[in-house]
Amino acid sequence: MVSGQANNAYVELNFRPNVQLVSVVRRFVSEFYQRTLSDPDGTSRVALATHELLENAVKYSKDGETTIRIEVVSETDPREISILLRNRAEATHISAIREIVDGVANAPDAFGYYQQLIARKARSKDGSGLGLARICAEGEMKVELRVLDGDVVELEATTHVGGSK
Amino acid sequence: MSELLSVKGDDFTGVAVQEGTKIVTSLKGNADYAAIDSVEKLLDKTHDEALRTTASEVVIDLRQLEFMNSSCFKCFVSWITEVQELPEAQQYKVRFQSNAQLHWQKRSLHSLRCFAVELITVDEE
């Protein structure tokens, strides 16, 4: 987990996301990233990750309540960005998340794993199943899963992006 | 040029047109969860018409597409898989037109192209 500094830029939202709100939040945090970072590609990567994590939260949340905290760690360039989502999920959903997170972590490279997953999911009609792997492969982010108190899920995506403004 | 199908949501529009021997399908706005059905319909129609008219090429214009989520991306994966599974003589080429300012496009189209390098080309403006 990223350890925060007192002067770090961050935004934290506690809300009940629905499908319509996901794109609204992505646009809002994109503005935050654009105003904080001078790396358009990095901004795009973390905006993509934010969107996929939020859609994941909509899909898996037990009670709808979700907290998202986005922090720009300010010590050095390139900046470390942390996107942390916290919500409650059913055990079956936690297993599904864990399978993807472990799959990426244990693969020789995230992009190769993503390509295999794309091939596997091509004929599947049950959701995309690609979001978390996409964060790792296209977003070049590391994703960690933590389960607290049985059903509280923390998904944290971190990466480094070029310079700050 | 004749219109084959247009779809419109709150935040997403798409249109497929026949232009000579090509089919040009354009997506604009935000392809998120709410746009999945529209993207599926658009790609189904594009595929059916490409086969019916033995199109020389299908062009997918993403230049005004702000974002695409993984569910809509998977619609493209499924469509490309269908093309790959056709007999070779019926397969058609797919050319994506992308916007260099929208950085996600470069990464997502790279992922898609690696999946079907024999079928897909990507132009960047």
Predicted model pTM: 0.93
Q: Would you place residue A65 in the very low, low, confident or very high pLDDT band (cuts 50, 70, 90)?
A: confident
CATH number, position B89: 3.30.750.24
Nearest residue in B to A130, CA atom: B70
Q: Do B115 and A52 touch (CB under 8 A)?
A: no
Backbone angles phi, psi at B10, to 5 degrees: -65, -35
- d(CA A6, nearest CA chain B) in Å: 31
- d(CA A48, nearest CA chain B) in Å: 7
Q: Using an 8 Å CB-CB cutoff, list chain A residues near B77.
A: 118, 121-122
Nearest residue in A to B78, CA atom: A122
Selection from A65, A89, A49, A50 nearest residue A17 by Cα: A65
Q: Is B104 on the interface with A (CB under 8 A)?
A: yes
Q: Using an 8 Å CB-CB cutoff, list chain B residues near A122.
A: 74, 77-78, 81
In which residue are the tokens 């992505």 written? A26
Q: Is B70 on the interface with A (CB under 8 A)?
A: yes
Give how many domains chain B has, as a whole number. 1
Q: What integer is the mean pLDDT of A102-111?
A: 95
Interface of A with B (CB under 8 A): 19-20, 22-23, 26, 40-41, 43-45, 47-48, 51-52, 55, 58, 111, 114-115, 118-119, 121-123, 127-131, 134, 137-139
The set of residues, in sequence order, having a beta carbon less than 8 Å from that of B30 and lying 6+ positions away, is A23, B11, B12, B65, B66, B67
Q: What is the pLDDT of residues B75-99, one digit of tens each?
A: 999 999 999 999 999 999 999 999 9
In this predicted structure, the answer to whether residue A137 has a pLDDT above a threshold of 70 is yes
Note if the bond before A78 is cis, omega within 30 degrees: yes
Q: Which CATH architecture has domain A9-161?
A: 2-Layer Sandwich (3.30)
Q: Would you place residue B118 in the very low, low, confident or very high pLDDT band (cuts 50, 70, 90)?
A: very high
Q: What is the CA radius of gyration of chain A?
A: 15
- d(CA A52, nearest CA chain B) in Å: 7
pLDDT at site A2 = 45
Q: What integer is the mean pLDDT of A154-164?
A: 87
User: Is there a contact between B118 and B92 (Cβ–Cβ < 8 Å)?
Assistant: no
Q: Do B33 and A19 touch (CB under 8 A)?
A: yes
Q: What is the pLDDT of residues A23-37, one digit of tens each?
A: 888 888 888 888 888
DSSP string, B55-81: -SEEEEEEEEEEEE-HHHHHHHHHHHH
Higher pLDDT, B90 or A18: B90
Q: Which domain holds residue B43?
A: 2-124
Q: Is B69 on the interface with A (CB under 8 A)?
A: yes
Q: Using an 8 Å CB-CB cutoff, list chain A residues near B70.
A: 52, 55, 128, 130-131, 134
Q: Would you place residue A3 in the very low, low, confident or very high pLDDT band (cuts 50, 70, 90)?
A: very low
Helix axes A19-36, A40-60, angle to 10 degrees: 150
Q: Is B108 on the interface with A (CB under 8 A)?
A: yes
Question: Among A52-56, A58-62, B71-75, whose mean pLDDT is lowest?
Answer: A58-62
Q: What integer is the mean pLDDT of B23-45?
A: 96
